[in-house]
Amino acid sequence: MSGSREAILDTIRKNHVQGDRARPTVPLFDQAAPADLKALFQKSLERMGGKMLTPDAADPMAPVRQAIVKPGPVLSCVPEFQGDMQITPQTKPTDIAPVEYAVLRAAFGVAETGSLCFTEKQLLVNTTGFLPQHLVILLDPAQIVFNLHNAYQRPEWTQAHYAVFQSGPSATADIEGVLVHGAQGVRSLSVLFHPAS
Amino acid sequence: MTAELHEELTDPHADQLDHGAASSRPLKSRISEPQPRGAKIHGNRPVDQSEAANRFMAATEHEAMHDARLWDLRQKRDKEMHGIEEWEELRNLASGIKEHTLSKLDYYLELFEKNATANGIKIHWAKDGAEHNAIVLEILRSKGVERLIKSKSMLTEECGFREFMAENNVEVIETDLGERIQQLDDEAPSHVVVPAVHKLRTDVASVFAKTIGSDPDNADAHYLTECQREATRPLILSAQAGMTGGNFVVAETGTFVVCTNEGNADLSANTPPLHIASIGIEKLIPGLDDLAVFVRLLSRSALGSPITQYTSHFRGPRKGSEMHVVLVDNGRSARLGMEKFWPGLKCIRCGACMNTCPVFRRSGGLSYGATYAGPIGLIIDPTFNVHKYRNLPYSSTMNGSCTNVCPVKINIHEQIADWRKTLAGEGEISPVKKVMMKAAGEVLASPVVYRASLPLGRSALRHLPHFMLYNKLNTWGRKRDIPETPKQTFNEWYRKNRKQQDEGKKS
């Protein structure tokens, strides 16, 4: 409705907030960043309800296999792990619905909040991050940034059409403040530190 | 709705979280009590908030749970705040960024439109709620959509969107648990972040028993949440369109950002082939550096968790799908020109002012009878309808706590005072207040009469029978005891103890 567009913009121009309101410069607030971001990431992730898997140097994918404890289809979106299903160009978003576990790799992690960033590049089909019952996620420790200011310096934001921070599993406390995981999205989220090959 | 209870994960029963089998936190049993309903709406007549608040307070189980739950959120917010050294700097930045954007809003809206359009998003402009609803209906009709899944949006509440779609035979499914409870109970959300916070779990059990067939005798929060998940999932998978709101709009990248804890916005946006986002024009911010400030502040202020479980960034449609953004004014561009009230446009809808407000915590959000409740509602609602919401700015103790917790530093309590002045100036004042103000005005206008009245008032307060102080005209006497009155006024004390001393110093 182009008439409304012009009417809205005209009213805004007429009513603009007056005075000098320069755009503030936002610092990165990262001077106190610890050398070991892994420990901080783990602490933050656990606070958000996520689980950290213990790495196994002899058999790197063993922790992933051990995390898969419930029956049902496993979907892998990473080359390191073999699942039961394949994503093809014909896969529809709703085809992910029966998946019990999806194995994904995060683009990067944020230590401040225990967040994992995914874009359509890692998800392949965007619903792989939300429709499975459980997620097992590989994160390269070299791809952890300290805080959200650092996170928004990354290139993903201007490359992807869709990008999401997942910080722990789906959660709700809408009924008397009682925390329940798996309100709509995934019921659990586990992370394994595993360098990208 | 997140980290506040994550200590439960170390609980030996924590695995129950997985099954919806039982509550991992034993909740005390309590008497069953019917849910108090919100303010009675009579067309355009002024809403009587205190009448509805009295009914909420009379429902003691509801009032106690509501008060405790929201105060808990406030305390968690404080804990988060103390964990971040630069907290006050972030608040200053957030306020400065919003003020800057509002001073160049036309520029940033056009910049967003240009960048989003270049990435394949279709932009629409709506001057009000009716136009918003018509635009969305047209998009839905062009795709033959019969079922729409939706995440929570206060803007669509403003627009009366659900009612409109029901009249036009489009089924709307709310996917946020709290909002879904409210939809199934045919009630508006009572809080911007936790829409069903005024309901006891027994109220939810009775709503779900009637609507989605849960066991009416099972009021366990895990069970009820699981029932809702199972009932909603087939609807998510079969919907032809999804709708979200937008918490922040980044002009320089053409991105809009949605924050949820349930992942329901991501499901709504990514499952069907059509995504429509309804966004108020005040949600604009310039760039990604600015976004970091707001993402750090939002959930910490709202729930005392470091970030929402999901922070989702939409910059363009998926392959084979469509993405539309409806930019809605609905009074915002006019508010920009209100000298005293434009700072309300900085609001990021975190609800911190509600959680901290003693009036809100004890009266429930539905008592305000308006889309926005609590302190932020007191200063926004009258901009929509000055007559209907003229009583709301009086539902405040003026303690200023709302202003202190606001992450974007809106001067909420000062605006409440300014609304009282503005309303009196416009003749929008109730008859009882008019009589009392006139009498008070005469006394306060003259120092001589005022001083003479004080010992009288003091002695009167001490000796008047209870019923004269706690009557229907004195709304402040309800639910409160007047503090004990001092034996002398400050002036009397000063004259007796200090005056000669001070005058001695001067000479």
Task: Confirm whether B421 is domain-assigned.
Answer: no
Please provide the size of chain B in residues. Answer: 507
Q: Does the ipTM surpass 0.90?
A: yes
pLDDT of residue A34: 96
- Domain range holding B447? 431-506
Cα–Cα separations (whole angstroms), residue B87 to A92, A112, B3, B344:
44, 14, 19, 21
Averaged over B149-167, what is the pLDDT? 97
Task: Confirm whether B415 is domain-assigned.
Answer: no
Nearest Cα to Cα of residue A103 among A132, A135, A126, A72:
A135
Chain A neighbours among B 2-41 (CB < 8 Å)?
2-6, 8-9, 17-18, 20, 23-25, 27
Q: Does B177 contact A at CB distance below 8 Å?
A: yes
- B286 within 8 A of B101, measured Cβ to Cβ: yes
pTM, entire model: 0.89
Cα dihedral B116→B118→B119→B123 (10° resolution):
40
Averaged over B119-133, what is the pLDDT? 98
pLDDT of residue B259: 98
**How far apart, in whole angstroms, are the C-alpha atoms of residue A125 and residue B153?**
26
Task: Confirm whether B435 is domain-assigned.
Answer: yes
Q: Do A48 and B313 touch (CB under 8 A)?
A: no
User: Are residues B322 and B436 part of one domain?
Assistant: no
Q: Does B126 contact A at CB distance below 8 Å?
A: yes
Task: Confirm whether B367 is domain-assigned.
Answer: no
Averaged over B58-76, what is the pLDDT? 96
pLDDT of residue B489: 82
CATH number at residue B133: 3.40.50.10420
Banded model confidence at residue B504, pLDDT cuts 50, 70, 90? low
Q: What are the residue boundaries of the structural domains of chain A, listed by start?
A: 34-193
Number of independent structural domains in chain B: 2
- pLDDT tens for residues B485-501? 777 888 888 888 887 77
Nearest Cα to Cα of residue A120 among B319, B336, B361, B245:
B319
pLDDT of residue B465: 54
Domain end among B296, B330, B364? B330
> pLDDT at residue B23 above 90?
no
- Least Cα separation, residue A9 to chain B (angstroms): 6
Compute the count of residue pairs across chains A and B with CB atoms less than 8 Å apart: 291
**Running along chain A, 197 residues long, what does each successive block of 10 average in pLDDT?**
89 90 97 96 97 97 98 97 94 98 98 98 98 98 98 97 98 95 96 95
Q: Does A59 contact B at CB distance below 8 Å?
A: no
Domain A34-193 has CATH 2.160.10.10: no
Task: Confirm whether B289 is domain-assigned.
Answer: yes
User: Are residues B436 and B325 part of one domain?
Assistant: no
Task: Confirm whether B196 is domain-assigned.
Answer: yes
Task: Confirm whether B6 is domain-assigned.
Answer: no
- pLDDT tens for residues B308-352? 999 999 999 999 999 999 999 999 999 999 999 999 999 999 999
Task: Confirm whether B411 is domain-assigned.
Answer: no
pLDDT of residue B22: 32
Q: Does A142 contact B at CB distance below 8 Å?
A: no
pLDDT of residue B4: 38
Averaged over B70-86, what is the pLDDT? 97
**Chain B residue at shortest CA distance from A4:** B127
Higher pLDDT, B452 or A59: A59
DSSP run (H or E) holding B322: strand B322-328
What percentage of chain B has pLDDT greater than the value 70? 87
- B57 within 8 A of B479, measured Cβ to Cβ: yes
Domain end among B305, B330, B355? B330
User: How distant is the alpha carbon of residue B320 from its chain centre?
Assistant: 37
> pLDDT at residue B11 above 50?
no
Domain end among B297, B330, B363? B330
DSSP run (H or E) holding B97: helix B87-103
Which of B93, B106, B307 has its CB closest to that of A115?
Answer: B307
Amino acid identity of residue A75, one-letter, is L
Q: Do B291 and A152 touch (CB under 8 A)?
A: yes
- B350 within 8 A of B22, measured Cβ to Cβ: no
